[in-house]
Amino acid sequence: MLAIICNKFFNSKTECYFKMSITFSRKLNDYVKLAKPRVISLLDMAALTGFVLGLTKVTDIMSWVYVIPVLIGGSLAAGGGMIINGGLEIEKDKLMQRTSWRPTVKGEVSKKEAYMVGIFLAITGTAIGLLDNLLTSLFIALGFLVYVLVYSIWLKPRTWWNIVIGGLAGSAAAWAGYAASSNAFDIESLMLGLLVFMWTPGHFWSLALRFRDDYAKAEIPMLPVLVDEKTSAKAIAISNILMIPFALYLSVYLGIVYSIITAIFSSILLYYNFKLLKNPTKDEAWRSFKFSSPYLAIILMVAIILKII
Ligand code: HEM
Ligand SMILES: CC(C)=CCC/C(C)=C/CC/C(C)=C/COP(=O)(O)OP(=O)(O)O
């Protein structure tokens, strides 16, 4: 097949393979950009934390094999969701400075192509989750569906509650990880997922406050577009204050060292939020946002390490 195409369109096989490999690597690069790899890495961290908390015996090397399907399947489905989101929002992304560079906006990946590749990745990811168990696969599908249908299509264009409910997509990553090692959903798993859920509004509203002009231009009703800077900063601080008990709750399973480290990093997060409250500028909002992902990553990493040692 490849040989026929090469003979028809190119002077030599070498030229044909060279051009094809360049086209392929460009496309791959476009899809990787659309799939937001940094977001996926933190989702994977949440899934890994769920996985480790769900292990009955961390020293049982064989049980670690089950981490592979949930991480690969979850990453593919989450990436698929974000690629579809890119296809859904071409017109809006065009208007926003932060997103105007996206391959979907530049015409390098068409809407139809984004939908097809995204759906393919979501189905593949969900199927890979089945290698662990049905519950894992269901949570991967739940994360994808909440993100694409509930958040991106239904709530995002309609209400500032969009990301509050949309946060459940992130919880699903933690639940999938826990299910992969335990085939269960219990209080421990629920609370880890709720930590991600409660963390999401503070994370996102900081970014939305930084890019409030962008969101206003695209007429997306994010909270900082609907209320003034001071009220947005208050909402960020309050939502993070409400999140901290969920972060600390995991001490029940992880002990005093976890609670001390979590308390220290939570104080730093609140310090950024109070600075933002005092001075609700774009720069301060950016600083709050930039600390939010490392905050969650550190807490999750500490949880993983403490459970293993
Ligand atoms: C509905 C819920 C959420 C919304 C609306 C949201 C929104 C965003 C947006 C718009 C960005 C900027 C991305 C870009 O321009 O490429 C971002 C960055 C990011 N998000 Fe979220 N997010 C949500 C939930 C989550 C969850 C659950 C996680 C992981 C647990 C996460 C992890 C990250 C990370 C790691 C970054 C990159 C941070 C950086 O650049 O410093 N987000 N998020
Ligand atoms: C399978 C699984 C567990 C899926 C999880 C999906 C998930 C939690 C995605 C994170 C949400 C996210 C990065 C939204 C970006 O907002 P946006 O799309 O509104 O950003 P934009 O303004 O940059 O388009």
pLDDT of the chain, 309 residues: tens digit per residue = 677 777 777 888 888 888 888 888 999 999 999 999 999 999 999 999 999 999 999 989 999 999 999 999 999 999 999 999 999 999 999 999 999 999 999 999 999 999 999 999 999 999 999 999 999 999 999 999 999 999 999 999 999 999 999 999 999 999 999 999 999 999 999 999 999 999 999 999 999 999 999 999 999 999 999 999 999 999 999 999 999 999 999 999 999 999 999 999 999 999 999 999 999 999 999 999 999 999 999 999 999 999 999
Q: Is 42 in the pocket of ligand 1 (CB under 6 A)?
A: yes
- Which tokens belong to 295? 């905050």
d(CA 156, CA 307): 37
Q: ipTM of the predicted structure?
A: 0.94
| Predicted local confidence at residue 23, as pLDDT | 85
Contacts 24+ apart (CB under 8 A), 107-116: 108/26, 108/30, 109/27, 109/30, 109/31, 109/34, 109/83, 111/87, 112/87, 113/87, 114/34, 114/83, 114/84, 114/86, 114/87, 115/84, 115/87
d(CA 296, CA 298): 5
Asked whether 46 lines ligand 1 (CB < 6 A), one says yes
Q: Which CATH number fits domain 37-308: 1.10.3470, 2.70.98, 1.10.600, 3.30.70?
A: 1.10.600
CA 125 – ligand 2 centroid, Å = 16
Cβ(70) – ligand 2 distance below 6 Å: no
Cα 292 from Cα 262, distance rounded (Å) = 13
Which residue lies with its CA nearest to atom 15 of ligand 2? 82
- 287 CB near ligand 1 (under 6 Å): no
Q: Is the CB of 171 under 6 A from ligand 1?
A: no
Ligand 2 in contact with 79 (CB < 6 A)?
no
Counting atoms of ligand 2 from 1, which one is nearest the CA of 176?
Answer: 3
The CA distances from residue 182 to 80, 154, 186, 193, 249, in Å, are 26, 33, 10, 15, 20
Cβ of 224 below 6 Å from ligand 2: no
| Closest atom of ligand 2 relative to the 215 alpha carbon | 22
Helices (H), 55-186: 67-88, 90-95, 111-129, 134-145, 162-166, 168-182
Residue with CA nearest ligand 1 atom 16:
36
Closest CA to 284 of 218, 207, 219: 207
Which pLDDT value is given to residue 18? 86
